[in-house]
Structure 1
Amino acid sequence: MDKFKSMTELKELTKEGKDWEIECENRSSIVTILALHGGGIEPATTELAYTIAHCGDYNYFSFKGMRSKGNNELHVTSTHYDDQIALDLVRGSQRTVAIHGCEGNKSVAYIGGSDDRLIELITESLEDIGISVREAPHHISGTQENNIVNMTQTQGGVQLELTAQLRKELFKNRKSSRKNRENKDNWDDLMYDFADAMKKAIERA
């Protein structure tokens, strides 16, 4: 159960620059990459979303938890995600991919959402680089109409849920604390291979 019912409530009761910050790059692309629970909330999602967006010259949005502890309190579920900056980017896009993190000590990417064509292409592209991709279980399926990822011009998006183990593998030392995440020299080749695979899939769509 989330502590805050919406992003509006979260922003009213927390402090920007202390508890959280937003990174956003509007590149006037028809594709947007999201890390809705970035920073310390779901570690490594910001870094991966940033890398994918940079690789493909896509729009980028990340809401980053900045606390030394208790970042999980800053989690607002995707069906209650009323951040206007993120909404504007998604509504102006034909395709959107949201990068999330879930629990799991096996290296798996769970894929969901309502953009069936892109789901198929991303699955194929990630499997080509050796990533285990599985259909997302119901509770993280990302198929709801009111999930922000599906509020595109085509009424569909893709939600990727990466296990904790897979996210650790994006870093050379397999550690995803803030210091280790923000040091780009610690980013593993997998970070860039993942981004390149995503770009290939999106371009084919």
Structure 2
Amino acid sequence: MTTDHPSTPRTASRRTVLTAFAAAATAGTPLLAQLGSATTAHAATAAAAADVEYASNTVLYRELAGQEGTTFSRRFRRHEQFDTSMTAVAPFRRTAILALHGGGIEIGTSELCLGIAGYSPGDAVGAPILPTVHDYWMFEGLLSSGNKDLHVTSKNCDDHVALATAASHLNVLSLHGCTFDQLRLPTGSYPPAGDRRVAVVGGLNKAFRTALVTELNAAGFPAIDSLAPAWASLLSEYNGDHADNPCNRTMLRMGAQLELTTELRKSLFTDPDSRGGRAATWDKNGEFVKFRDACRRAIETVEAGQPLL
């Protein structure tokens, strides 16, 4: 889930709290006695830490120093390109794909990031499988549980590579996950037939939003424009309209994002409940490919209206 509304400032470090308890556990006293003698301050600090998120990627990286590759990971690809001709204009990559809350934070978004970018979600290296590829960046939670504690609100993302990637492209498509119930949709009238596989399309690029809504609906995935008058007030927390949202930090100062319900993301895989399961089954039921290709067609539509200057 992404939200452009202010989040609670992080006043305590989860790592500091957990380290303190780990140190106490090695002091030699029985665990129950340690827990019983824990100070009120420690308990309050632990409770506070559990209720707030990291204020930025910088804070997260500082507090989890040394844990990249075990607690979290970052992956990106920037394609090398050259223009060596004095007479012809060489093509350049106009669109980047982002997954700010990948891995176990918002499941399926890492795989979609790779797939829409033209790479295999089943290969840890990300082997290209489509003739046209896009730059991408992702942050992933790697914990066996509790990955949502690694969430950083989109507008607070300050990862240098993520922001540099956005700033050097005309378009960004940013992928996020939410639950159906969080959206509070008028289920009496939408979605059709009670289908909980919903894509909420946001971002400040109206043409990009329109293309995504059109292509996703045509592919059989219920999709709505969160900034359309019918939905604007209801979906204001999911519309990606904040100027500091990385999807809008492009050369054009506008982009697109997708908030995808859990039911939609899980429907794309035969086995959606683990990283290995998603990697092994993304191409088994056809839904992932349908969704991936709908997004890629939307990107093609937008890029077709952006001639090289």
Shorter-chain TM-score: what band?
Answer: over 0.9
How much is the aligned-residue C-alpha RMSD, in angstroms? 1.5
- Report SS of the residue matched to 2:180: coil
Q: Name the CA shift for 1:112/1:58 in 2 (closer, same or farther; >3 Å).
A: same
Give the structure 2 partner of residue 180 of structure 1.
277
- Report SS of the residue matched to 2:116: helix
Contact kept, 8 Å, 1:149 with 1:159, in 2: the verdict is yes
- Report SS of the residue matched to 2:268: coil
Give the 4+ runs in structure 1 shifted more than 6 A.
none
Give the structure 1 partner of residue 294 of structure 2.
197
Give the structure 2 partner of residue 43 of structure 1.
107
- Report SS of the residue matched to 1:183: helix
Task: State the distance in 2 between where 1:192 and 1:82 align.
Answer: 31
Larger RCO, structures 1/2 (Cα 8 Å, 6+ apart): 1
Q: Name the CA shift for 1:150/1:177 in 2 (closer, same or farther; >3 Å).
A: same
Q: Deviations over 1:15-72 (max 9, x none)?
A: 2111101111112521100010000000000001110001441111111100011100
Task: State the distance in 1 between where 2:171 and 2:246 align.
Answer: 12
Query: Which of residues 10, 13, 16 is equivalent to 2:68?
Result: 16
Task: State the distance in 1 between where 2:217 and 2:273 align.
Answer: 23
Question: Size of the alignment, in residue pairs?
Answer: 204
**Residue 86 (1) aligns with residue 162 (2):** yes
Q: Which runs of 5+ in 2 are unaligned?
A: 1-7, 9-51, 81-92, 119-129, 182-195, 227-234, 303-309
**Residue 107 (1) aligns with residue 171 (2):** no
Higher strand share: 1
- Quote how far apart the aligned CAs of 1:148 are: 1.1
Matched residue type, 1:198? C
Provide TM-score, normalisation by structure 2.
Answer: 0.63
Q: Name the CA shift for 1:151/1:131 in 2 (closer, same or farther; >3 Å).
A: same
- Quote how far apart the aligned CAs of 1:158 are: 0.5
Task: State the distance in 2 between where 1:203 and 1:74 align.
Answer: 33
Identity of aligned residues (%): 33
Q: Which runs of 5+ in 1 are unaligned?
A: none
- Quote how far apart the aligned CAs of 1:143 are: 0.3
Q: For residues 1-205 of structure 1, what are the structure 2 equivalents within 5 Å? A: 1=8, 2-14=52-64, 15-27=67-79, 29-54=93-118, 55=130, 56-104=132-180, 106-136=196-226, 137-173=235-271, 175-184=272-281, 187-205=284-302
